Structure 1
Amino acid sequence: MMVDFSEFVLRVLFSGGCGLVVGLDREIKGKPLGAGAFVLVAIGSAALMTVTLNFALSGTVEDDAIMIDPTRLIQGIVGGIGFLGAGAIMSPRDDGRLKGIRSGAAIWAVGAIGIACGLGFLKEAAFISVLIFVVLNIFDWLHIRGNK
């Protein structure tokens, strides 16, 4: 069944809200990627996933030789967001260690939030958001405690 416009809006906005939860944490802590990047990745992933689902279910393709597989978009989203994450961690510190690893991983995980929302799994997306937020804060806390 195709996703109507009101459901599309709900999924995309919900995804943006979930991305904002993670992004604000990174923004407040002055990490390499700001809240805007997290929100945009979540919104973009959800929108692409929902539009692709609608296209695959629309039956507008007349040629039976053309196969539409929405799961291929998931592969593209995951790979594409990997480039954003790499950009967040490509700043070596003086001690030879990389910084921004958690932000890079978080932006990649926010793509999963967008995909889940785009597919209609809003509860799962909310859970992923909370889990990412908790994990980031636990490791930030451990990092601060370890530097004392």
Structure 2
Amino acid sequence: MVDTETFIFRSLVALGLGLVVGLDREFKHKPLGMRAYMLVSLGAAALCMISLNIAADAETNGFAFDLSRVVGGIVGGIGFLGAGAIMSNQDHGKLRGVGSGSLIWVVGVIGIAVGFGLVVEAATITLMSFLILTVVGWLRTRFDLQEQKDT
């Protein structure tokens, strides 16, 4: 059972970790900014925590509740958001938005981890994601690896 104090703490952690990832996207003027990443992380965490409480209540009353279905639903919903980010950014037949689409999925995983109390794991995923965004961004700038626009 997730008590109120734990719920608030985990929600704030999910918001903070979503903010860390979202700041990179905001600074790079990407279509999905910190607000979207914070909301996805918070929503996934909150749904997991609420599901833990439902599962505890169900067990008390002799019912079964499958938490893996909750995780599957979250992943599916976030995949839908990611696909929308990819599809809405097509430019002259070139696939655009793959980074934003995949990052929204990772932020959902961060939220799931926080929701189930795996805060260290969530922070590690956040740090790794931020490093990937930073290092790849630096490499693209340094070696002119950015995709050239058609003129």
State TM-score, norm by structure 2.
0.88
Q: Deviations over 1:88-142 (max 9, x none)?
A: 1112223x32221111101100001100000001111111101011111222222
Tell me, yes or no, if the aligned pair for 1:92 and 1:99 is still in contact at 8 Å.
yes
Residue in 2 that maps onto 1:73: 70
Q: Tell me, in whole angstroms, the C-alpha distance in 2 between the residues paired with 1:131 and 1:114.
A: 15
- Specify the alignment match of 1:30 in structure 2: 29
Is the contact between residue 78 and residue 108 of structure 1 (CA under 8 Å) also seen in structure 2? yes
The amino acid across from 2:74 in the alignment is I
What is the Cα deviation at residue 67 of structure 1?
2.6
User: What is the aligned-residue identity percentage?
Assistant: 49
Deviations 1:6-50 (A, max 9, x none): 001101110110000000110110112111000000000000000
Shift of 1:87: 1.5
Show structure 1 runs of 5+ residues with no match. none
Q: Which residue of 2 aligns with 1:123?
A: 120
TM-score normalised by structure 1 residue count: 0.90
Q: Distance in 2 between matches of 1:6 and 1:37?
A: 25
Q: Which residue of 2 aligns with 1:53?
A: 52
CA RMSD of aligned residues (A): 1.6
Which of 134, 143, 146 matches 2:144? Answer: 146
- Deviation, structure 1 residue 74: 0.5
Q: Tell me the SS of whatever aligns to 1:137.
A: helix
Query: 2-side partners of 1:112 and 1:16: how far apart?
Result: 13
Give secondary structure in 2 for the equivalent of 1:146: coil
Task: Count how many residue pairs are aligned between Structure 1 and Structure 2.
Answer: 144
Contact 2:15 2:39 in 1 (8 A): yes
How far the C-alpha of 1:146 sits from its partner, in A, is 2.8
Gaps of 5+ in 2: 147-151
Which residue is equivalent to 1:112? 109
8 Å Cα contact 1:41/1:111 also seen in 2: yes
In the alignment, the residues of structure 2 paired with residue 134 and residue 60 of structure 1 have an alpha-carbon distance, to the nearest angstrom, of 41
